[in-house]
Amino acid sequence: MTDPSSAYELLAISVRKLIDATIRTELQPSVIASTAAEIDAITRRLRSEQMPGSFGQRARIDGQSPASGNAVIGVRNPSAPPLMIHDRGNGSVCAEVVLGAAYEGPAGYVHGGVCAMLLDHILGATAHKPGRPAYTGTLTLRYHRGTPLRTPLQAEAWIDHVEVVKTFAAGQLSDGQGVTVSAEGVFIHRRH
């Protein structure tokens, strides 16, 4: 393993698969209880050396991105899809993602709140600059139809215009048939 941080990333990938299996398993309840005990033992071992707060609050920087714990893009966060955002230049960004059972709302469809979460992040990414994060001011979402689970989705966003510290962004979530949710938002850089 060339990059030591990749061990943590691989652990997160394993736990991400475990989340899916936990939701979908049909093993008998009697077997499930002993499995939970095994997982608790692993958790105790991982906790034997752990940072006191959340990932972003770590004092020590050792090559791991401060965003590694992020709820949407964090490669160390098993609850994050994680969204891998590509920069197309000029504030235009996109990401492809397939969402499984962990992101369900209506049967077979992505939870509307998960769509909102992904769009908040990708619209905000139009305004992010290294060391100068942008915070959501307002976000408006329009749901055109259901966003299917287990289907390739594209999230994309772009800058409409910028006013001093405010970036006005727009974006959308789409499947192969077109847009499922569209969004507009204002993202703010705090003055130093």
- Using rule CB under 8 A, residue 141 touches a copy of itself: yes
Minimum CB separation of residue 95 from a copy of itself in Å reads 13
Minimum CB separation of residue 161 from a copy of itself in Å reads 20
Residue keyed to tokens 């299917």: 148
Q: For residue 133, which amino acid is it?
A: P
Minimum CB separation of residue 71 from a copy of itself in Å reads 4
- Using rule CB under 8 A, residue 76 touches a copy of itself: yes
Q: Which of residues 97-136 bind a copy of itself (CB under 8 A)?
A: 100-108, 111-114, 116-121, 124, 133, 135-136
- Using rule CB under 8 A, residue 22 touches a copy of itself: yes
- Using rule CB under 8 A, residue 27 touches a copy of itself: yes
Q: Interface with a copy of itself by CB under 8 A: which range of 11-19, 87-95, 152-160, 164-172?
A: 11-19
Cis status of the peptide bond prior to 66, with omega within 30 of 0: no
CA distance 157 to 125: 8
Q: Is residue 172 exposed (0-12), middle (13-18) or buried (19+ Cβ within 10 Å)?
A: buried
User: 15 vs 162, which CB is nearer to a copy of itself?
Assistant: 15
User: 71 vs 179, which CB is nearer to a copy of itself?
Assistant: 71
- Using rule CB under 8 A, residue 165 touches a copy of itself: no
Q: Is residue 73 exposed (0-12), middle (13-18) or buried (19+ Cβ within 10 Å)?
A: buried
CA distance 167 to 158: 10
Cα-based distances in Å from 175 to 98, 102, 112, 159, 166: 10, 18, 15, 22, 30
Minimum CB separation of residue 180 from a copy of itself in Å reads 11
